[in-house]
Amino acid sequence: MNIDKKIAILTGASKGLGSAIATALINKGAVVYGLSRNMDALNELKNILGNSFHPVQLDITNDAAITQWVNNTFSENYIPDILINNAGVGSFHKIDETEADTWLAMINTNLNGMFYITSKVAALMKKKKESSHIINIGSIIGKVGRTEATAYCTTKFGVQGFSESLYIELRPFNIKVTCMNPGSIETDFLKTSGIASHTNMLHTVDLANTLIHILETPDNMLINEITIRPLNPKPPTH
């Protein structure tokens, strides 16, 4: 796909990996609808990225709000070409210390939110002949287990299964689906769980560039899954 002038929806655009992906897409000439709950952060990003970035205050766990926004923004004459499901939350606890609210927050955001928006956007994408691309941000722990991560692992294994099923379902409609599984990323994501980020972790700009490469592959070629690890996951010793 040639990204120039393509219409992209990006969830979780306000910070971390999402803001790096927004920047990379805008640099390639895309029009980006960036979704998150924090409008101040989205507006700050718009000040940097310019008018091709459209801030959208939306909680992706709110199915009715997503339906309304998609219906008000897009139509058969204005169909998104790219959907990046990046919004996600994670916190890490022993099973007997995992509160139901914590469990539900991860399921609702990482799984239900992804379903709500993908189902509406895929219905539009199926109406056009030109290629479209949906990229779901999973995790390395959507492929292997980790102690004290049952809730998060459940959701990211779910992202993997969702993506695997979806690529088979949507390939006849010229819609690509990719599940991108990064290892630990140098963002604030792990900070709330007491895990400090460090420079050996993956850098958001490098992951955003890899995502651009996946989007730019020839129309007849699909990278349906990619796992990206830090070469050395341990913090630097000096």
Annotated catalytic residues are 152
Output the smallest distance, CB 53 to ligand NAP, in A.
14
Coil, helix or strand at residue 111: helix
Residue 189 interacting with ligand NAP (CB under 6 A): yes
Encoded amino acid at 175, one letter: I
Nearer to ligand NAP, 61 or 131 (CB): 61
Among 80, 158, 182, 230, binds ligand NAP (CB under 6 A): 182
* Sign of torsion over alpha carbons 223, 227, 232, 235: positive
Residue 54 interacting with ligand NAP (CB under 6 A): no
DSSP per position, 16-81: HHHHHHHHHHHHTT-EEEEEES-HHHHHHHHHHH-TTEEEEE--TT-HHHHHHHHHHH-BTTB--S
Among 18, 55, 80, 158, binds ligand NAP (CB under 6 A): 18
Residue 163 interacting with ligand NAP (CB under 6 A): no
Among 31, 56, 107, 190, binds ligand NAP (CB under 6 A): 190
Q: Yes or no: say if 42 and 14 are a contact pair by the CB < 8 Å rule.
A: yes
Among 1, 7, 60, 121, binds ligand NAP (CB under 6 A): 60
Nearer to ligand NAP, 173 or 223 (CB): 223
**Interface with ligand NAP by CB under 6 A: which range of 13-21, 122-130, 170-178, 228-236?**
13-21
Among 26, 45, 86, 214, binds ligand NAP (CB under 6 A): 86
Contacts of 119 (CB under 8 A, 6+ apart): none
Residue 91 interacting with ligand NAP (CB under 6 A): no
The rounded distance, in Å, linking the Cα atoms of 40 and 42 is 5
Nearer to ligand NAP, 131 or 181 (CB): 181
The rounded distance, in Å, linking the Cα atoms of 68 and 63 is 9
The rounded distance, in Å, linking the Cα atoms of 146 and 76 is 43
DSSP letter at 190 equals T
Residue 118 interacting with ligand NAP (CB under 6 A): no
Encoded amino acid at 43, one letter: N
Nearer to ligand NAP, 35 or 82 (CB): 35
Residue linked to tokens 């803001």? 19
Residue 87 interacting with ligand NAP (CB under 6 A): yes
Residue 109 interacting with ligand NAP (CB under 6 A): yes
Residues in contact with ligand NAP by CB under 6 A are 11-18, 35-38, 41, 59-61, 86-90, 109, 113, 137, 139, 182, 184-185, 187-190
